[in-house]
Amino acid sequence: MSVSKQEAAKAYWKDNLRLMLILLAIWFAVSFGAGILFVDQLNHIQFFGFPLGFWFAQQGSIYVFVAMIFFYVWKMNQYDRKHDVHEE
């Protein structure tokens, strides 16, 4: 790898790690946070006919997971091109 390519790869990896950590934080917050640790507190709030904590635990976290992966795919495709490491 040439020096500029190595630089690009490094910058790409940094962007990737940042995106991943942000998304993992959301992943943790909706499932372990809202669905488990704070489920009782959130259950006092009503949300479209559900206690909110229960909704996160049995519905909401799953929707967020799906949306999150598609967002990740979209963002990573951008990063691939930005740093010129995309597949031919």
Partner 1 sequence: MDTQTLIYLFVGATFALYIGIALWTRAGSTSEYYVASKGVHPILNGMATGADWMSAASFISMAGIISFIGLDGSVYLMGWTGGYVLLAMCLAPYLRKFGKFTVPDFIGERYYSQTARLVAVVCVIFISFTYVAGQMRGVGIVFSRYLEVDINTGVVIGMCIVFFYSVLGGMKGITYTQVAQYCVMIFAYMVPAIYISMMITGNPIPQLGFGSEVTGTGQSVLERLNGLSTELGFATYTDGSKSTIDVFFITMALMVGTAGLPHVIVRFFTTPTVRAARLSAGYALLFIAILYTTAPAIAAFARINLLTSIPELTYSEAPQWVTNWEKSGLIAWLDKNGDGKIQYGPGAPFAGAPTFGPERGVNGERMVTNAPTEAATELYVDRDIMVLANPEIANLPGWVIALIAAGGLAAALSTAAGLLLVISTSISHDLLKSNLMPNISEKKELLAARVAAGVAVVVAGLFGIYPPAFVAQVVAFAFGLAAASFFPAIVMGIFSKKMNKEGAIAGMVVGLAFTFSYIVYYKFIFPTAGPADWWFGISPEGIGTLGMIFNFVAAIAVAQVTAAPPEHIQHIIEDIRIPRGAGAAIDH
- State the residues that interact with partner 1 by CB under 8 A: 1, 9, 12-13, 16, 20, 23-24, 27, 31-32, 35-37, 39-40, 43, 47-51, 54-55, 57-59, 61-63, 65-66, 68-70, 72-73, 76-77, 80, 85-88
Least distance (Å) between residue 45 CB and partner 1: 12
CB 35 within 8 A of CB 57: yes
Instruction: Give me the least distance between CB of 27 and partner 1, in Å please.
Output: 5
Which residues, including other chains, have CB under 8 Å from residue 11's CB and lie 6 or more apart?
Answer: 83
Task: List Cβ neighbours of 29 (8 Å cut-off, separation of 6 or more).
Answer: none
